Chains A and B, each alone.
Chain A
Amino acid sequence: MNRMEDDLTCDDVLDFVEPYVDGDLEPAEAARLRVHLESCRACAAELALARRIQAELRALPQLDCPPEIVERVRREGAQGAQILPFRSPVRRGTGLPFRGARLGAAAALLALALGGGALFLRSQQQPKQPSAAEVARATQQARYALAYLGRVSRQASLDVRDDVLARRVVLPAAQSVSHSIGISLGEAPEKPVPARGDRAQ
């Protein structure tokens, strides 16, 4: 009877352990490995460790997400919600379900305040030029909207800084409004606000 000789080194065996565990070795290779394992306790211990790792990985549970995520996506998807660039982590429990909705509400408020301010100034302009107090009131409305937008932005974990908003959102808008009604409110904006980059798929 021919007894197979152990012609593998321990280094060879360490490379073959995982394929052996998965049954991916050719029968002849597997047989050579078994011969080595019979006489090498260190490599046998490596095989046991490899098997334990695989068994532990396979025993890990499938973790499930809260089912309301599907409902939320379906509801927002049906309403045509804009998919925002991915950001994380989301601060939760702030009432509105999506950051987009919160920001949308803030942006709407800002637009309302600016538009209201413009209409107010325009209506006052018909018979006479607006007074400094009226301009100050319109500016105050815009600042209130800015403060609200800043607060909502912070809640949504967006690092939008108030001074950036002031220079790039509120002042350009106020400049535009004041230009249309012929009132100087301050310096012109540096340049248009670049759109935030959307994540490529």
Chain B
Amino acid sequence: MLTAFDDTAHRYRGRVYSFARYLLSNREEAEDVTQEVLLRLWRHQDGVEEERLGAWLLRVTRNACYDLLRRRRSDATQPGMAASLDDEVARELTSAEPDPQAQAEAADFRRRLLGALDDLGEPYKSIIILREVQGLTHREIGEALGIPEVTVRVHLHRGRKKLREQLREANP
């Protein structure tokens, strides 16, 4: 029999993991964060209102990821993270391009995009992941990050502009 926790955890685990996965570009770290967030959910499951649960989980996820990223900054020996993310993403995607050359070009563009996203600072990175990858509304993102909707829009535009500038410079 599914408990309320099981139901909530299964409903949100993908969103939590995927957010952490793209934010950290590292599978094991994302699994650790997911585990920690779900443990916090277990402890606080009676203290969070149902309608605020999604925002609460994303905020806890982002905080856990920030902690890890801060710790990672002091360790300059971390290997290229975007490469492992690119591999996992590539396995999930089936290319619609029939032409092998076009497939290779699309894969190269995606690899550079993931690299640029990995290099993007906060809060742009979180907002782009939540909006463009996870499809949350501006209001949902604002609730999760504790910022007004209009600020979400401004950061989203600036973040994507930064990606565009980086991709343009990489391939002028």
Contact = CB atoms under 8 A, between A and B. Distances in A.
Contacts of B13: 64-65, 67, 69-70
Interface in B119-172: 128, 132-135, 153, 156-158, 160-161, 163-164, 167-168
Nearest to A58: B132
Contacts of B41: 73
B52 interface: no
Contact of A52 (B17, B109, B132): B109
Contacts of B135: 58
Interface string B58-85: 0010011001100000000000000000
B167 A199 contact: no
Given A22-B157, A57-B113, A83 B36 contact: yes
A86 B36 contact: yes
Contacts of A46: 164, 168
A54 B168 contact: no
A73 B134 contact: no
A151 interface: no
Contacts of B128: 57
Interface in A21-79: 21-22, 24, 46, 49-50, 52-54, 56-67, 69-70, 72-74, 76-77
B161 A88 contact: no
B160 A50 contact: yes
Interface residues of B, number: 57
Interface string B33-50: 111101111110000000
B99 interface: no
Nearest to B42: A77
A74 B67 CA distance: 24
Contact of B10 (A56, A70, A83): A70
A201 B68 contact: no
Given A67-B10, A69-B13, A88-B33, 12 more contacts: A18-B161, A53-B163, A57-B117, A58-B135, A63-B14, A65-B17, A65-B30, A74-B3, A77-B39, A83-B43, A88-B68, A201-B40
Given A19-B157, A77-B43, A90 B28 contact: yes
Contact of A73 (B42, B92, B117): B42
B31 A86 contact: no
B154 to A, nearest CB: 9
Contacts of B43: 77, 83
B126 to A, nearest CB: 13
B18 A63 contact: yes
Contact of A54 (B5, B18, B160): B160
A74 B36 contact: no
Contact of A74 (B5, B15, B167, B168): B5
B44 to A, nearest CB: 9
